[in-house]
Structure 1
Amino acid sequence: MSTDEQSSGRRHPDRRVLLRAAVAVPAAGAAVAGTAAVPAQAADAAGPSGGRFDADSPRFALAVLPDTQYLFDADSADPAPLRATFRHLVTERAAANIAFMTHLGDVTEHGTEAEIELAADTFRVLHGRVPYSVLAGNHDIRSSTDDQRGGSAYLSAFGPDRYRSMPTFGGASPDGYNSYHVLRAGGRQWLVLALDWRVSEQGLAWAQGVLDRHPALPAVLTTHDIAWSGDDGEARLSDHGQRLWDGLIKGNDQVFLALGGHYWPPGRTVLTNDAGHDVHVHITNYQDRYYGGAGMIRTYGFDLVRGVVDVETFSPWFLARDPAARSPLAAETLELTGPTDRFTLDIDFEERFAGFAPVPAPKPRPARAVMPRGTLAYWRFDASGTGAAQRPGAPLPDGTVVKDLTGRGNDLTVRRLHSSGAEALTWSPEHHRGQPAHASLRFDGGQGPDRGAVLTTADGAALNSEKFPRGYTIETFVRLPEPFEGNHDWMGILSWEGRNGDAGKTTGWSPLEPTCSLNLSPERFLQFVVYPHRQDADPTSWSHAVPVGRWMHIAVVNDGRRTVMYVDGSRIARNPAQPSTGIATLGKPFVLGGTQFDERFGQGFYGWMGDTRIVGRPLPVREFLTPLG
């Protein structure tokens, strides 16, 4: 909260400063206090619907289980910690949206039949409930051999037959020691390669074949030995890891994450593959910790919306105990929070996967496809709106007409403010991904001296006098520049000209402010203020601080009773409960790119603006201009 917010008891930010400053005075800090809220709508479900794994949710987790060998060590074996880990994965699968679990090898200490049988029995807690993969570590088989070693107790228990009933199982190499799984999560398919402790040339060829048959699937490679780390936490490829890197990973852009155990302490690094893209290489191993690692699990929490993978490491066995009953070492080890145990990877998934699985860009949509019943005005800045193709960066001269594509005659005409030059308004091909037209206008408004450009309807246009008695939906696409330089406090985005006092309104700070406007505060809060047609009131909606450098879709919806603002299809918090019916328009022009005070423009809008539409009724989110909203 800003100092001004803390010091003010006003009902909402002082938009009066907005309009006065827009003409003559640099804006002072705005006071922000809570306004009356519209009764809350139902929140998004906290977890996957129906209590089951949700393959379409953009948030899901990959669980990684490293060396468990000290829990299966001859007559000192104790599978209890691992059973607790598996019960946790089963119990929490829906809440954490766990897609898959992968074991990194060294299931047992000696690879004896007794140890393997006990481990295989322990895995039954998980079997049929959470899909998983297991690969051989050097303690599970004869360590001097590669995947052509032939039969073993490990292969009998953890070979292909174990996974055939799993819907994720894709197949295994002829020797049985390498396998792959295809899982659906985050609305797409992913590949998990589980490779032996020592992959032969035949095994590498098999793995390459799997990647070749699934060329559009992002892949996670798991193996026992890939990298080691010192106490600095910086992972370095081992000799075998270098062989995997050279022979498989670096030439296959699909592999973006490679995980191994075997060594401790844990570590991580980022390598660059032949395509110039990042590959994250991690060591996960806690067998050296108290109680042989106590079934320590690591979760990789993918969030495709935020573009991150949140990594956490903990022991469900210790966490499940009564805190008062935890031993000192259990309390110390139950959750690891060091920089190699708990961290976040920033991954732009669309960009990272574009080389092998590009997301098709949405095609432009014709105007007729986005003008539902009740559309009163629709403007776009491609050739259909401006009348001709434009050149990127080319100024739109004063007098340029942007057509109202509804045919209702609400055309807009360009004019610059004050002594602004050509650069105050230029054409751009940039656009919101979900925008119907692939074009926008770049406004270069600002204070000191006031500058900018506006587009206004003509005198007598039908929209100038529309009162919206049955409600309205006003939408636009906006992008603020990054960095957001200069003084742009309280700049206007769109408005109607005129003074609310001329409409007989008495509730506002000044009768000189317009009857309706969408503006941006110094804190980058969107402000929609309206003087209703029916009530003597000035209900105002306030958004959160909106981002710079990113397109957003803004919608204001009024149902004839009250107004709600949406940003990117998400209902904001501060929408007034105050009744609001219609807009007290005065027959004066509608404006894009600025807001008046006392019928004078100060600074203009600073940023990009795309398609803008006004509908004379409330629209549900599913009918907004962007199908992504």
Structure 2
Amino acid sequence: MSDTRTGGVARRRLLQGAIAAPAALAVPGLIGAAGTAQTAAAAPVVPPASAGFDPDSPRFALAVLPDTQYLFDEDRSDPVPLATTFRYLAEQRGLANVAFMTHLGDITEHGTQDEIDLADQTFEALDGVVPFSVLAGNHDIPGGNDQRGDTPYLRAFGPSRFTGSDTFGGSSPDGYNSFHVIPAAGREWLVLALDWRVSDAGLAWARGVVDAHPKLPAIVTTHDLAYADDEGAATLSGNGQRLWDGLIRAKDQIFLALGGHYWPPGRTVLRNDAGHDVHVHITNYQDRYYGGAGMIRLYQFDLVRNTIDVETFAPWFLMRDAGERPPLGSEVIELTDDVDRFSLPVDFEARFEAFAPAPKPPQVPPTRVVGKDTVAYWRFDTLGLRGRVEEGATVANGAVAQDLTRKGNDLVVRRLHSTAAGLLTRSVEHHDGAPAHASLRFDGGQSPDRGAVLEAVANAPINSEKFLGGYTIELFVKLPEPFEGNHAWMGIFSWQGRAGDAGKTAGYSPLEPTCSLNVSPERFLQYVLYPHVEDASPTSWSHALPVGRWFHVAVVNDGEQTVVWVEGSPITRNPKQPAHGIATLGRPFTLGATGWDLGFGQGFYGLLGDVRISKRALEPSEFMSPF
């Protein structure tokens, strides 16, 4: 598998809400083997289900609860661990952004009325607090399939229980199969909760549910899906194979399938008929100390990092003081092997592209990008360098990128050294938030020096602008993947002219330009400024810029200091030194290289999109790609 282990930060974030358990509460009618009343953790007053949960956050959690049957086993029952788990989930609804909890079946050991009643009472802690589903396992119902008719399970956990839930979408006519639609990460997700033995009619119903929600990513939950060897490698069970053949493999929306029933836990990745990955997981801890103690998994979806972080832990042990935990409980507070704590890399946009393509922002006309404070704006679609954009088309020397403010700051293409024609080309690649859906691809480099630049025309006002009241310089940049060759200290933009000629003595060298944005050997962005007023060279440094990804970069000066932003996020190393204006010398503003002693060595290696310069400090909400 290509999965990677999750780091400790995610785990600590998960467990940060753990607190000592409160006083215990007697559960009426529950008598233990010693004749004493069993207790369940006291449930605090809880907020409504929506409180604290953010359906628009790109990060949310799906809680998975497997076989709890040994906690509901005749006079051996003890609901305390599960009651604690439910209290934990209620408290974590907002902290961990818990969207939903799904039980994987075998709620009870025998499915008797008394066991089901006790489970029913315990689950009341979640009603109206955290939306959830509960499916039937083989220990909850008599044999047969979902056509078995009335049972205590169906009366307690059938459709009537969930009709008041905002997520409940409906059930099969028999009541043993259901589905929920969960709002999370700004979209909706489909969860199917299927009986442990789905009939042909049940399979047809499930296919119909998926078909009726053609744009929703789907998760299948059931009891008997797969089993694993001691190394955690999972294989579909007979029933799992039936679900795979009759439902999962043909429905590309299904990307995750979860089952219990068997132990040890395990996982595998299967390819569906569309050639896409389906993650198949077994989750069951009834063989562990105290019947699993209500142990849960949290599947933490992170649509920014394109990752699902999986954590497995027992709140009943976690939420007790260390001295009050039984020794064996201390050993299973959380499970950290490869089948219980791991990360799944999932490119959500690519995985869901076939059935739910992410809407792409349309092109934005220049009139909506140019404002009263815009000094210059260049773009590389049909409104900039003229002619329809064709991927890989060569940009000729002398081609003009018009300044769309009409203030005379046009840029002219010039190749450096003996650079071949193909080292500056057009591309349809672009940042999703860029106004224009086009860019320029530069293939500059060292050994031998090569590249191309776009220089402002000789009389362009931008060449002498001092920006004493502040400024914002924005652009879209992408470093290629793979990032081949030596491109250390390549320039993205600069104002030509030697710092020494501007009377500056405090910087690295009097031969470097008065203002430049560069890329270090480690791919850190470096913004070097010689202010108009101060004899100084305050320099900003970013983190290492990943390759193969577009970034919006903004250099913002408020007339006093400079802050560099990457993707709407301020970088760490911005200097506190005063910085009033830019010490321009009337020489050309340049895209694609940083000069030295009035000449150029290497050019930029990568892609550049829209570039805009404003004569005041913009807020992130005002950037070309607002954040």
TM-score (norm 1): 0.91
Contact 1:465–1:586 (CA under 8 A) maintained in structure 2: yes
Deviates more, 1:428-437 or 1:489-498: 428-437
Query: For 1:125, what is the secondary structure of its paired residue?
Result: coil
SS at match of 1:330: helix
C-alpha distance in 2 between matches for 1:134 and 1:394: 58
Instruction: Give, in whole Å, the separation in 2 of the partners of 1:510 and 1:102.
Output: 63
Task: Give the match for residue 234 of structure 2.
Answer: 235
Give the 3-state SS of the residue equivalent to 1:228 in structure 2: strand
Asked if 2 retains the 8 angstrom alpha-carbon contact of 1:380 and 1:612, the reply is yes
Q: Which residue of 2 aligns with 1:435?
A: 434
What residue identity is the alignment partner of 1:53?
F
Match of 2:46?
none
Q: Look up the equivalent residue of 1:465 and give its one-letter code.
A: S
> In terms of mean alpha carbon deviation, does 482-491 or 132-141 score higher?
482-491
Is residue 179 from structure 1 mapped to residue 178 from structure 2 by the alignment?
yes
- Give, in whole Å, the separation in 2 of the partners of 1:113 and 1:584: 83
Aligned AA (1:94): G
* AA partner of residue 187 (structure 2): R
Q: Provide the residue aligned with 1:42 in structure 2.
A: none
Alignment match, 2:263: 264
Match of 1:54 in 2: 54
Note the 1:121-200 alignment, pairs <5 A.
121-142=121-142, 144-200=143-199
User: For 1:601, what is the secondary structure of its paired residue?
Assistant: coil
SS in 1 for 2:513: coil
Question: What is residue 593 of structure 1 aligned with on the other side?
Answer: 592
Q: Contact 2:389 / 2:438 at 8 angstroms: preserved in 1?
A: no
Deviates more, 1:403-412 or 1:321-330: 321-330
Tell me which residue corresponds to 2:339: 340
Corresponding letter in the other structure for 2:104: L
Which 10-residue stretch deviates more, 329-338 or 500-509? 500-509
- Give the CA deviation at 1:384: 0.9
Equivalent position amino acid for 2:156 in 1:
A
State how far apart, in whole Å, the 1-side matches of 2:83 and 2:397 are: 74
Distance in 2 (alpha carbons) for counterparts of 1:485 and 1:565: 26
Q: Percent identity?
A: 67
**In the alignment, is the contact (CA less than 8 A) between 1:382 and 1:439 conserved in 2?**
yes
- Whether contact under 8 Å (1:379, 1:612) holds in the other structure is yes
Query: Following the alignment from structure 1 to structure 2, what is the Cα–Cα distance between the partners of residues 508 and 458?
Result: 28
Partners of 1:138 and 1:343 lie apart in 2 by 29
**Aligned to 2:541, what secondary structure does the other structure show?**
strand
The residue identity in structure 2 corresponding to 1:130 is V
Instruction: Supply the distance in 2 between the matched residues of 1:101 and 1:420 (Cα, whole angstroms).
Output: 60
Secondary structure of 1:244's partner?
A: helix
Q: Could you say which residue in structure 1 is the equivalent of 2:67?
A: 67
Specify the alignment match of 1:43 in structure 2: none
Partner of 2:24: none
The residue that corresponds to 2:531 in the other structure is 532
Q: Tell me, yes or no, if structure 1 residue 76 matches structure 2 residue 76.
A: yes
Q: 1:51 Cα shift?
A: 6.4
Query: CA-to-partner distance for each residue in 1:302-333, whole Å, 9 max, x for gaps?
Result: 00000010001000001112113322211111
Cα distance in 1 for partners of 2:521, 2:378 equals: 28
Partner of 1:3: none
Q: Is the 8 Å Cα contact of residues 51 and 95 (structure 1) preserved in structure 2? A: no
1:391 CA displacement: 2.8
Q: Give distance in 1, aligned partners of 2:263 and 2:350.
A: 33
Deviation at 1:511? 1.5
User: Equivalent residue for 1:513?
Assistant: 512
Give per-residue Cα distances to partners, 1:190-246, cap 9 Å, x unaligned: 111111111111111111121121111111110110111111211111111111111
Distance 2:203 2:53 in 1: 33
- Give a deviation string over 1:364-395, Cα, whole Å, max 9, x none: 11111111221111111111111222432122
Is the 1:85–1:295 Cα contact (8 Å) retained in structure 2? Answer: yes
Residues 80-118 of structure 1 show CA distances to partners (whole Å, capped at 9, x for unaligned) of 110110010011111000000000000000000000000
Q: What does the per-residue CA deviation read over 1:547-600, in whole Å, with 9 as the maximum and x for residues that have no partner?
A: 111111111011111111000111111111111111111111000000111111
Any idea what SS the aligned residue of 1:385 has? coil
- Please give the alpha-carbon distance, in whole angstroms, between the structure 1 residues aligned to 2:218 and 2:420: 52
SS of 2:528's equivalent? strand
Residues of 2 paired with 1:508 and 1:208: CA distance?
A: 68
Conserved 8 A contact 1:61-1:300: yes
Mapping of 1:115-126 within 5 angstroms? 115-126=115-126
Question: Which amino acid is the alignment partner of residue 79 of structure 1?
Answer: P
Q: How many correspondences in the alignment?
A: 580
**TM-score normalised to structure 2 length:** 0.91
Q: Distance in 1 between matches of 2:522 and 2:261?
A: 50
Judged with a 3 Å threshold, the aligned counterparts in structure 2 of structure 1 residues 390 and 253 are, in CA distance, closer, same or farther, namely closer
Q: What's the counterpart of residue 361 of structure 1?
A: 360
Structure 2: give runs of 5+ residues left out of the alignment. Answer: 1-15, 18-49
- C-alpha displacement of 1:139: 0.3
3-state SS of 1:88 partner: helix
Partner residue in 2 for 1:101: 101
Partner residue of 1:23? none
Distance in 2 (CA, whole Å) between partners of 1:75 and 1:198 is 28
Deviation at 1:271, TM superposition (A): 0.8
- d(CA) in 2 for partners of 1:389 and 1:102? 52
Instruction: Specify the alignment match of 1:12 in structure 2.
Output: none
Equivalent pair of 2:158/2:176 in contact (CA under 8 Å): yes
- Alpha carbon RMSD of aligned pairs, Å? 1.3
Corresponding residue of 1:480: 479
> 2:65 touches 2:295 (CA, 8 Å); kept in 1?
yes
Structure 1 residue identity aligned to 2:514: T
Q: Secondary structure at the match of 2:153?
A: helix
SS at match of 1:373: coil
Task: Please tell me the residue identity of whatever aligns with 2:134.
Answer: V
Rounded Cα–Cα distance in structure 2 between residues aligned with 1:119 and 1:255: 30
Read off the aligned partner of 1:380 and give its amino acid letter: R
Is 1:207 aligned to 2:206, yes or no?
yes
For residues 539 and 317 of structure 2, the distance between their equivalents in structure 1, rounded to whole angstroms, comes to 51
Q: Is 1:575 aligned to 2:558, yes or no?
A: no
Gaps of 5+ in 1: 1-45
Structure 1 residues 254 and 510, CA, compared in 2 at 3 Å: closer, same or farther? same
CA–CA separation in structure 2 for the residues paired with 1:301 and 1:166: 22
SS at match of 2:154: helix
| Structure 2: distance between partners of 1:424 and 1:255 | 44
What per-residue deviation string (whole Å, max 9, x for no partner) do you get for residues 151-202 of structure 1? 0111111111111111111111111111111110011101111111111111
Alpha-carbon separation, structure 1, partners of 2:69 and 2:324: 26
User: What are the residue-to-residue correspondences of 1:311-326 with 2, within 5 Å?
Assistant: 311-326=310-325
Work out whether 1:89 is the aligned partner of 2:85.
Answer: no
Q: Could you say if the C-alpha distance between residues 524 and 51 of structure 1 is closer, same or farther in structure 2, counting changes exceeding 3 Å?
A: farther
Q: Which runs of structure 2 are paired with 1:452-463 in the superposition (5 Å)? A: 452-463=451-462
> 1:278 aligns to what?
277
CA distance in structure 2 between the partners assigned to 1:425 and 1:577 by the alignment: 37
Deviations 1:15-61 (A, max 9, x none): xxxxxxxxxxxxxxxxxxxxxxxxxxxxxxx99xx960011000000
Q: CA separation in 2, counterparts of 1:157 and 1:552? A: 52
Q: Does 1:414 align with 2:413?
A: yes
Match of 2:397 in 1: 398
Residue 243 of structure 2 aligns with an amino acid whose one-letter code is: L
Choose 106-115 or 415-424, whichever is displaced more: 415-424
SS at 2:383's partner residue? Answer: helix
Matches within 5 A, 1:282-293: 282-293=281-292
Deviation at 1:523, TM superposition (A): 1.1
Show CA shifts across 1:464-512 (max 9, x none): 1111111111011111111211111111100000011211222112211
Letter in 2 for 1:101: M
Instruction: Output the CA distance in 1 between the equivalents of 2:282 and 2:545.
Output: 38
Query: What amino acid does structure 2 have at the position aligned with 1:96?
Result: A
CA distance in 2, matches of 1:557, 1:597: 24
How far residue 516 of structure 1 moved from its aligned partner, in angstroms, is 0.5
